[in-house]
Amino acid sequence: MNSIEIIPLTGIPLIQPGDDLPQLLSAALARAGGLRDRDVLVVAQKIISKAEGRYVDLDRVTPSPQALEIAQQCEKDPRLIEVILAESREVVRVRPGLIITRHRLGFVSANAGVDRSNVAPEGIDRVLLLPLDPDRSAAQLRSALCDHFGIDLAVIIADSHGRPHRMGTVGVAIGLAGLPGVEDWRGRKDLFGYTLQHTEVGVADQIAAAATLLLGQAAESTPAAIVRGVSFESRAGSAREINRPQEMDLFR
């Protein structure tokens, strides 16, 4: 690997429920010069969720007693808390301004990925959930684009997460297809012949973080990018392999 290139996809319209994402992305990819074998297409979670209609209108949500109690503790809208609880397996931490949960997909994050930013015009109480099955969404998108362009590529669905003991959000992979979430480098030799004993590389998260430099967090209007030149194992992969098992969680 000599260099990595990150190419933004522009001109993608605001996505509505039911939009044909493979068609819209194919047009944007053609404008960007198309795809090459072993490119990685990184797509922002938000446009996947919007195309899949993963909206919830808070005016239609009735908070449960648990949601009302937690809302008092974290000083958030109890209707929002009810939606977060519905998307979660477990509440991990609550404090004023913050609720951390284990999402139904297995990872730990703030607000269970329930988002208000870039979702609806001001005055409309609407939130957006993560895709129901991001791995499946990535696989369907990959299949359609591979057929269209006649090449082999990988797809990552990226979201922004915080991290324990580190400030700032970074892009991570919540769904993927055509590449591993984690590569096992144990058994490889280093420069001096030492055999690696514990090294597992979060290749999908590394690619997602790199692409997020262009995807942005606010009004960038760049919901997808091509990452070209990355070396990775070719296999089906799943974002589930990235989640640390609870019995290995040393921060609990």
C-alpha distance from residue 28 to each of 11, 76, 88 (Å): 7, 39, 34
Mark the ranges of the chain whose per-residue pLDDT is less than 50: 219
Position 247 scores a pLDDT of 77
Position 220 scores a pLDDT of 54
Side-chain half-sphere exposure of 13, counting CA atoms within 13 A: 10
Under 8 Å CB-to-CB from 128, ≥6 apart: which residues?
46, 49, 50, 54, 55, 56, 114, 115, 116, 119
Among the listed residues 22, 24, 6, the one whose alpha carbon sits nearest the alpha carbon of residue 14: 24
Position 15 scores a pLDDT of 92
Position 198 scores a pLDDT of 66
Residue 77 class from Cβ within 10 Å (0-12 exposed, 13-18 middle, 19+ buried)? middle
Position 228 scores a pLDDT of 96
Position 187 scores a pLDDT of 61
Name residue 101's beta-bridge partners. 91, 109
- CB 242, CB 202: distance < 8 Å: yes
Position 245 scores a pLDDT of 80
Q: According to CATH, where is 3.30.1330.100 located in the chain?
A: 5-54+130-248
Identify the CATH assignment for 5-54+130-248 out of 1.20.1300.10, 3.30.1330.100, 3.90.1570.10, 3.40.50.1970.
3.30.1330.100
Q: According to CATH, where is 3.90.1660.10 located in the chain?
A: 55-128
Position 95 scores a pLDDT of 94
| CATH 3.30.365.10 is right for the domain spanning 55-128 | no
Q: Distance between CA 165 and CA 168 in Å, rounded?
A: 10
